[in-house]
Amino acid sequence: MKTLNVREARKSMTNIDKILEKEGEITITRRGEPIARLSSMGRRKGIPSHRGLRESIARQKAQSETLVREDRDGRG
């Protein structure tokens, strides 16, 4: 874990990702007292595919526009 004061943290903000990769966690201090802790979020997960869900849903026999029109007409 690396400790930086506020001024050092501001100066190294462009390299913060590299520091986090190397150190894992950074503590930011003001006048020697810790005020913030930065840690890596890890790798992002990929966007899930919804193909399986879409394929598992049964197709309707009537088109949606027909169903909506019938519903609206039925309300009076």
CATH number of the CATH domain containing 24: 3.40.1620.10
pLDDT tens track for 20-41: 889 989 999 999 999 999 998 8
Determine, yes or no, domain membership for 55. no
Domain with 8, as residue range(s), is 2-39
- The pLDDT-based confidence of 5 (bands split at 50, 70, 90) is very high
Q: Which pair of structure tokens corresponds to residue 57?
A: 């849903």
Angstrom CA distances, 28 to 6, 11, 71, stand at: 6, 12, 60
- pTM for this predicted structure: 0.53
Look at the chain and report how many structural domains it folds into: 1
Question: Which two three-digit tokens encode residue 60?
Answer: 């309707």
